[in-house]
Amino acid sequence: MLTKRIIPCLDIKDGRTVKGINFVNLRDAGDPVELARQYAEQNADELVFLDISATEQKRKTLAVLVRKVAQAIDIPFTVGGGISSVDDVAILLQNGADKVSLNSAAVKEPELINKLAAQFGSQCIVVAIDARQINGQWMVHLVGGKVPTKLDLFEWAREVAKRGAGEILFTSMDHDGTKTGFANKALARISEEVNIPVIASGGGGNLQHFMDTFIHGKADAALAASIFHFGEISIPRLKKELKNKQITIRI
């Protein structure tokens, strides 16, 4: 079994870390630079930084803040939010990001995935997919979950993998912030249909949820936010307990 990864996520709005439920009712969760430093010290495997209002407000991710976070940590760092061009990616990588995450722009211009993979390498390109179930079908949503599309989750996952994405970050909007467990059936299907790593996001609330997503959801990594931000479970304790349950993980 490949080593599983635990990834804290910093959702950034107006320079602060925030967290909500089902993509709404955001509350402040602290200074992103300080949180990033803490997670690196706690042996998080990677860090994801998402400027959640960048696309909505038609502005670019804050490169200065990205640089400050990158300088504070020594673990791989993925940045997303408002990325829509080769130049956007170049700026973020120059400011310390190891990977970039595309979402809305990839749906609007799928060829962008090919361009970025060719320019920077697939290992740098993560495609984030936000989806929720509508009449029993998983449908992709854009602009921080505010804009529904007619795009099927699984069809889109297969397409982004073919176009050169190095990873998929799947967030179930139905599970986001609920702490009721990850969308493991959908995750398992994505993992079976693509040949790139899949990151589970949305719903992590306790040890069992992480166990379940690694075993039943076949996820390669699990991302969470509020349970780490508000001290409900520490990364070292989570990793120790996963290891005790025979999950292959870096302590």
Active-site residue set: 11, 130
Tokens of 236: 């070292």
Tokens of 110: 């799928």
Tokens of 66: 């990205």
Contact 235, 214 (CB under 8 A): no
Phi-psi region of 22 (alpha: psi -120 to 50; beta: other; left: phi over 0): left
Alpha helices (H) in the chain, listed in sequence order: 32-41, 63-72, 86-94, 104-108, 111-120, 153-162, 184-193, 207-215, 226-229, 235-244
Instruction: Count Cβ atoms below 10 Å from residue 64 Cβ, excluding itself.
Output: 9
Q: Which amino acid is at 66?
A: V
The HSE-up count of residue 55 (CA atoms within 13 Å, CB side) is 23
Distance CA(225)–CA(23), nearest Å, equals 12
H or E stretch covering 10: strand 5-13
Alpha helices (H) in 17-62, listed in sequence order: 32-41
Which whole-number Å values give the CA distances from 171 to 16, 144, 181, in the listed order?
21, 11, 12
